[in-house]
Homo-oligomer: A and B are copies of this chain.
Amino acid sequence: MTFKIIVAGKASHAYAQKGIEEYLKRLKRYGKFEIYYVKAGESIAVSKRLQKVAENSLIVALDERGEDFSSYEFAGLLQGWTDDPSVKSVSFLIGAADGHTEELRKKSTKVLRLSKMTMMHELALVVFLEQLYRGCTINKGEPYHR
């Protein structure tokens, strides 16, 4: 099982770059987590670029119009995909400021939102990676290492 995190635009803030590194390093113990960047821009172009990288993968869109989820619910989703032999890879898509296109959202198995608030996308990426890490520790029954 491969988890891909596909993001429009690289992080430009030092703090976000450091946060991304921190959680990608922690995630290595739990499986194959790969991060991909596509060029940022307006939502139609970005949604196309994201989908191209996500090809042949189950798609989960992160979008302000998505469902809220608790850390335990998210851990349950991760476990369900990991246990499903028909799922080879899951792609999490973090898009443009104006969100994903309707077409992309329709193709997604799940549309999730991190918060009702608008968050800068690189900060959203750190928050999401921390949730992946938290979900992995929940599923392994491990204590959360701060």
The number of times this chain is found in the oligomer is 2
B117 adjacent to A131 (CB under 8 Å) = yes
Contacts A15-B19, A123-B127, A130-B123 given: A70-B114 contact, CB under 8 Å?
Answer: no
User: Bound complex: CA of A127 vs CA of B70, how far in Å?
Assistant: 17
**Could you mark each residue 18-49 of chain A with 1 if its beta carbon is under 8 Å from any beta carbon of chain B, else 0?**
11011000000000000000000000000000
Chain A interface residue count, CB cutoff 8 Å, equals 28
Instruction: Point out the residues of chain B lying under 8 angstroms from A115, CB to CB.
Output: 68, 114-115, 127
**Could you mark each residue 54-73 of chain A with 1 if its beta carbon is under 8 Å from any beta carbon of chain B, else 0?**
00000000000000111100
Chain B CB within 8 A of A52 CB: no
Chain B CB within 8 A of A104 CB: no
Nearest residue, chain B, Cβ from A123: B130
A15 adjacent to B12 (CB under 8 Å) = no
Chain B CB within 8 A of A74 CB: yes
Chain B CB within 8 A of A118 CB: yes
Instruction: Point out the residues of chain B lying under 8 angstroms from A14, CB to CB.
Output: 18
Q: How far is the CB of A46 from chain B (nearest CB, A)?
A: 15
Instruction: Point out the residues of chain B lying under 8 angstroms from A146, CB to CB.
Output: 12, 120
